[in-house]
Chains A and B, each alone.
Chain A
Amino acid sequence: MIQVRELSKFYGKKAVVEKVNVNIHRGKITSFIGPNGAGKSTLLSMVSRLIDADTGEVLVDDHLVNKMKSNEFSKRVSILKQSNFMNVRLTIRELVSFGRFPYSRGKLNAEDLRIIEQAMEYMDLMDMQNDYMDELSGGQRQRAFIAMVIAQDTDYILLDEPLNNLDMKHSVQIMKILRRLVDDLGKTVIIVLHDINFASVYSDRIVALKDGQVIKDGPTNDIINSDALKEIYDMDIPIKQMNNCRICVYFNS
């Protein structure tokens, strides 16, 4: 479990994240949702130690993250940010191999190689393992990054808007993969999402942020209803039930 206690981050005098308390449960997909500037990404970055919190603390499996060695931490928690560093020419295989960096520091042993193969197989990348990342489509690239995170073999996987710039087909593909990671491999996934319907269909729990504070936190079904959404987004959003999914019809509200 990840426990966030009284976590705050200020930029100048403005609090981007203010006294956030939230528990993230093991073996579930938890989505962070909320309007732009609500502090979702900042919160995720603090949990994953990419930025330092100004006050408060984060515990991963009862360990204070600030007290953990960065090497140890990177064996427990991985984070994938929306990024554009693909001016680096690496093959998929090379990228996935770097997932083992916290363990091997670059010297791969037989065990590492096995895990790398497995990760690529899991993400269906074996055929193109020697293709360069900068020559791939957005969806393939995202899959390669997720394969790297699988190779990193952390219990907790944090993703910051992984569906950005992906078309519908690839978005669904990525979300299904995340679902499998949780259901098959017992991982814990925390994900910042913009599309409320992906959050509704795929996540177990939802944490809603607004103006740097957590305003809703609970099982998906408790959050995906018109009253709660009104509070989060200031919009009247009707919910339609389809094939056991709750779909928010926000396009003309």
Chain B
Amino acid sequence: MKKRYLFIALLILSFLSLFVGVSSIKPLDLLDFKSEETEIFLISRVPRLVAILLAGAGMSIAGLIMQQLSRNKFVSPTTAGTLDATRLGILVSMLLFTNASTIEKMIVAFAFALAGTLLFMQILDRIKFKDAIFIPLVGLMFGNILSSITTFFAYKSNVIQNMSAWLQGDFSMIMKGRYELLYISIPVLIITYLYANRFTVAGMGEDFSRNLGLAYNRIVNIGLILVALVTTTVILTVGMIPFLGLIIPNIVSIFHGDHLKKTLPHTALLGAIFLLICDILGRVLIYPYEISISLMVGVIGSGIFLYLLFRRKAYA
């Protein structure tokens, strides 16, 4: 899995993605700047592509950081309650401010995502029995508890319809003016890269980190803030994308190990590629309708996840 090949694949898929859709746009149409095609292209197709790339890379990196910091290969925003905490945060923001602006939602949801993830890490600390499978199960339970709280209050205040929109990841709603929040993924990627060595060291445990003079708690907190930021922006703009943060880092780890400085570009690229493939398939399979991205990723992703689970016995 060379970076070069991944990059070429990404370019080809991006090109495909730009020209797949209900209204047919050919590259030549774009030469006419004022045509309807160009307009659709700029308002819908390009934002969609950018959103997919940012969300794919961002969620994969978020998963990578979480796996590193929790020292468990099966922990990710999906299996640690981060996604559910974010949704609870969105609900709270909608109840608190009747017409919450995106930024208000963002801040409240971010706070909840961070608090939820921190809580999960606290639970992790207290669990004596650290089995690789047991921990994500605890995370899923924790997430389900949060999720039921969200559902309960959503029913009570009649916003359940509104909430389910955040449940299903969907790129068909993405257009100019509705995805720009996702650009937060870029500084997150950069910071992660700068801190890559520290995250790798932290991934080897508190004692190990302290031996090397690393401020362990600070690094963990920075990591969790980055995770919460990415998760929040993705949920607010696209919706939930399950499994992505789980399977991508695992696949990269099999080939390239866990040295973050080395694996970070691969993880980001592969995440974007995987999400692009799922999105293109979702758009083509029942053309002219669309299968939502969370369903596509869910089906393909859970298959890969199962494969990883069975494979684990072979090498771990």
Contacts and interface: CB of A to CB of B under 8 A. Distances in A.
B197 A101 contact: yes
A85 B208 contact: yes
A106 B198 contact: yes
Contacts of A202: none
B257 A89 contact: yes
Contacts of B68: 88
B212 A152 contact: yes
Interface stretch (B3-11, B184-192, B199-207, B300-308): B199-207
A171 to B, nearest CB: 22
Nearest to A48: B211
A50 B71 contact: no
Interface string A11-22: 000000000000
Given A87-B71, A87-B316, A106 B197 contact: yes
Interface in B192-245: 196-198, 200-201, 203-208, 210-215
Contacts of B207: 45, 50, 79, 81, 83
A74 B73 contact: no
B257 A98 contact: no
B202 to A, nearest CB: 10
A71 B258 contact: no
Interface in A36-79: 45, 48-50, 69-75, 78-79
A101 B212 contact: yes
B205 A85 contact: yes
A62 B110 CA distance: 47
Contacts of B210: 49-50, 70, 74
A105 interface: yes
A79 B68 CA distance: 22
A94 B214 CA distance: 17
Given A85-B205, A94-B257, A98-B200, A74 B211 contact: yes
A106 B261 contact: yes
B257 A87 contact: no
Interface of A is mostly: mixed
A117 interface: no
B257 A91 contact: yes
B178 interface: no
B258 A98 contact: no
A105 B210 CA distance: 13
Nearest to B72: A87
Contacts of A102: 212-213
Contacts of A79: 207, 211
A94 B262 CA distance: 10
A233 interface: no
Contacts of B73: 87
Contacts of B316: 87, 134
A251 B115 CA distance: 54
Given A83-B205, A87-B132, A94 B259 contact: yes
A71 B208 contact: no
A90 B261 contact: no
Given A88-B204, A134-B316, A152-B212, 12 more contacts: A70-B210, A70-B215, A79-B211, A81-B207, A85-B203, A87-B73, A88-B68, A98-B200, A99-B212, A101-B213, A102-B213, A106-B261
9 contacts: A70-B210, A74-B210, A74-B213, A79-B207, A88-B200, A89-B253, A90-B200, A91-B259, A106-B261
Interface of A: 45, 48-50, 69-75, 78-81, 83, 85, 87-91, 94, 98-99, 101-102, 105-106, 132, 134-135, 152
Q: Which 8 A-B pairs have the closest CB atoms?
A: A106-B197, A74-B213, A89-B257, A71-B213, A101-B212, A70-B213, A89-B258, A102-B213
